[in-house]
Amino acid sequence: MHNENELLKGRLTAESYDRLIALDNAKMHEFVADAIELTQPASVFVCTGLEPDIAYIRELAIKNGEEVPLNIPGHTCHFDGYHDQARDKAKTKYLLPPGSDLGESLSSIDKETGVEEVRSFLKDSMVDREMLICFFCLGPIDSDFSIPCIQITDSPYVAHSETILYRSGYEQFKKIGSSPDFFRFIHSEGELENSVSKNIDKRRVYIDLEENLVYSVNTQYGGNTIGLKKLALRLAINKASKQAWLAEHMFVMGAHGPGGRVTYFAGAFPSACGKTSTSMLPGQTIIGDDIAYFRKKGGQIRSVNVEKGIFGIVRDVNSEDDPVIHEALTHPGEVIFSNVLIDSDNKPHWLGMGSDLPTEGINHSGKWHKGKTDADGNEITPSHRNARYCLNIPDLSNCDPLLDDPEGVPVGGIVYGGRDSDTWVPVEQAFNWTEGIIIKGASLESETTAATLGKEGVRTFNLMSNLDFMSIPLGRYVQNNLDFAKDIENPPLIFSVNYFLKDKDGKYLNGMADKSVWILWAELRVNGDVEAIETPTGLIPKYEDLEKLFKEHLDAQYTQQAYVEQFTIRISKNLAKLDRVEKIYREKVSDTPQILFDTFAEVRKRLRAAQDKYGDYISPFDLTAE
């Protein structure tokens, strides 16, 4: 410790040294000292999370050219490199010691080899740059859910983004004292060219589950660099597995029922399946749109939003479909846009914003004009399809008052949704927790869209929408979810939703606003206010209840024809889905719990019995006629 202390005293200003030493944690000091020796920064700034420090980071981002001011006060724009626009799945790997195995579906590298490689890329990477040391807290402050984190980076854009997305953890580090129980992240942009990372071929994101440590280098894109987001989710899933709680890729929102009642729902949806729009439903309140922790407290399952901000896809955000977010993006307040188009008046533009886009401006490719192509002849869109916005949830008019409650919120329902053109009905309740986890969550699929490379309409398996972030064997993850509610008398009800069902002509059977009705019906079910119809795969709404909800909340006439089209049970499609998903578990997941196969067999038996009795397509009215 003596040598580390001397190094810190010699390399930090007196003010930053005092700030760091005020946190009496030897493991953290060792981490900082090692990072300084490795990266050799010109200077070091320790952030306390107070407004003057955050203002310094904001100003540094503009001074360094990582962000440019826009036409609205508080708004800035950041550009990532042309080939640094998404999470790098291929170069994101777990550092595994000899004898460890996460299964073939999770990418890994020998720990000794990987550490040596990534540290060689980090070596001297901050020469002539300032190292920023920031402290954050995953989950509310002073909570059983809280996980303290330290982020070391040379990117003021990354640090600025995290001050928006996460609660300050400086005071939390004072409270944990010498505890080694915190997450660590070190990131460097590496060599820059025109203010963006140059050596993309040496982009690496390596995750050490033993040490709760993430290395990231030669990248600026948020998904690779904002350590507390999906990188921390991987650490949290592993930690939760050891401690019997859950870390999930889920929103948390408040559904407002009769008499001022609020019922909290969590939900998992793969990309482009309606996750953010569900968390932001008109008339409801948002806790969070992306990552949730679940713990058992007082005989209930309770949840918190890990974050306090949103790092969302800006494409298709417009005043009609997303009025609350659009309001925040077009009025003064703290917002960071990334990879949108900036016109000559410093106004941001993005795909699907509901107005005509300029024919020229500045974007992630540099100077842009309509028709511009890249070196491979591909058209460069004015705003990148994965362009983002970063904002504070408390700045939204629908922020739920319990966002920062250290006890979390009681979870009444859990929702799983995917992009499914021909199988699942718009909303269905599972019979019980076990079937909900297995048939709804662990069987989740989503169809590819035209925006995805490759063939459109291909079904992709994505259990609980968490497959990309898994850090434990898949079978163990399923079993953890099954076990979680064992000692809970009234666990949350589990639902599936599907906003993408089509008729035989390829026309969507759901309107965009209909999702409000499906969630509000689920709210009524959680509270025992309405009955339901039993199907082979779960419980669906009665027509008269949906008719009432459509009239009350959408001022729309809901016809019996629409009800039959949407809620007809498609036996063959459901059987085919079971076959597809079971094949994956049998061939790819060596530790699949037997109860999954037993449950598949039971549901398959019910489907075939219904098929023998009613035929391949079963109207919901047939099921109520008896």
The Cα 203–Cα 262 span in angstroms is 45
b/e map of 185-209 (b: 16 or more CB within 10 Å)?
bbbbbbebeebbbebbebbbbbbbb
pLDDT of residue 449: 60
Q: How many residues does the chain have?
A: 626
Rounded to 5 degrees, what are φ and ψ at 560?
A: -65, -35
Q: Which of 134, 273, 390, 399 is catalytic?
A: 273
The Cα 85–Cα 402 span in angstroms is 34
- Does an H or E element contain 93, and which? strand 92-96
Among 477, 430, 481, 483, smallest CA distance to 603 is for 430
Residues in CB range of 435: below 8 A, 6 or more apart? 494, 538, 599, 603
Rounded to 5 degrees, what are φ and ψ at 367?
A: -65, 130
pLDDT at 323 over 70: yes
pLDDT of residue 98: 84
Q: What percent of the chain has pLDDT over 70?
A: 97
Beta strand pairing call for 192-193 and 196-197: antiparallel
The Cα 255–Cα 265 span in angstroms is 7
pLDDT in tens, 483-532: 999 999 999 999 999 999 999 899 999 988 999 999 999 999 999 999 99
3-state secondary structure of 37: helix
The Cα 512–Cα 500 span in angstroms is 9
The Cα 115–Cα 113 span in angstroms is 6
**Mind giving me the DSSP string for 481-550?**
HHHHTTT-SSPPEEEEE-S--B-TTS-BSS-GGGHHHHHHHHHHHHTT-S-EEEETTEEEE-HHHHHHHH
273 is catalytic: yes
- Residue 422 contacts residue 570 (beta carbons within 8 Å): yes
Confidence of residue 104 (pLDDT cuts 50, 70, 90): low
DSSP-derived secondary structure letter, 247: E
Beta strand pairing call for 493-497 and 409-417: parallel
- Residue 523 contacts residue 413 (beta carbons within 8 Å): yes
The Cα 414–Cα 330 span in angstroms is 32
Residues in CB range of 337: below 8 A, 6 or more apart? 70, 75, 76, 77, 78, 314, 329, 348, 350, 387, 388, 389, 390
- Residue 488 contacts residue 481 (beta carbons within 8 Å): no
pLDDT at 448 over 90: no
Rounded to 5 degrees, what are φ and ψ at 368?
A: -125, 145
Among 119, 131, 90, 247, smallest CA distance to 183 is for 247
Rounded to 5 degrees, what are φ and ψ at 559?
A: -90, 160
pLDDT of residue 580: 96
- Does an H or E element contain 413, and which? strand 409-417
Residue bearing tokens 């511009």: 372
DSSP-derived secondary structure letter, 42: S
Q: What is the mean pLDDT of the chain?
A: 95
Rounded to 5 degrees, what are φ and ψ at 308?
A: -125, 10
Return the minimum-mean-pLDDT range out of 30-34, 53-57, 226-230: 226-230
DSSP-derived secondary structure letter, 357: P
Confidence of residue 384 (pLDDT cuts 50, 70, 90): very high
Tokens of 456: 């459109």
pLDDT of residue 458: 82
β-bridge partners, 255: 263
The Cα 172–Cα 606 span in angstroms is 52
b/e map of 42-68 (b: 16 or more CB within 10 Å)?
eebbbbbbeeebbeebbebbeebebbb
pLDDT in tens, 536-593: 999 999 999 999 999 999 999 999 999 999 999 999 999 999 999 999 999 999 899 9
- Residue 169 contacts residue 135 (beta carbons within 8 Å): yes
The Cα 152–Cα 130 span in angstroms is 10
pLDDT of residue 272: 79
pTM for this model (two decimals)? 0.95
First to last CA, the chain: 77
Rounded to 5 degrees, what are φ and ψ at 574?
A: -70, -40
pLDDT of residue 308: 97
**Mind giving me the DSSP string for 222-234?**
HHHH-TTTHHHHH
Residue bearing tokens 């009444």: 412
The Cα 462–Cα 192 span in angstroms is 36
3-state secondary structure of 345: coil
pLDDT in tens, 187-205: 999 999 988 999 999 999 9
pLDDT of residue 456: 60
The whole-angstrom distance between residue 352's C-alpha and the CA centroid of its chain comes to 22
pLDDT of residue 450: 46
Instruction: List the Cα angle 322/327/333 in 5-degree steps.
Output: 135
The Cα 185–Cα 148 span in angstroms is 11
pLDDT of residue 543: 98
3-state secondary structure of 451: coil
**Mean pLDDT over residues 454-473, rounded?**
86
Domains and CATH numbers, the chain: 2-65+87-244 (3.40.449.10), 247-310+402-624 (3.90.228.20), 311-395 (2.170.8.10)
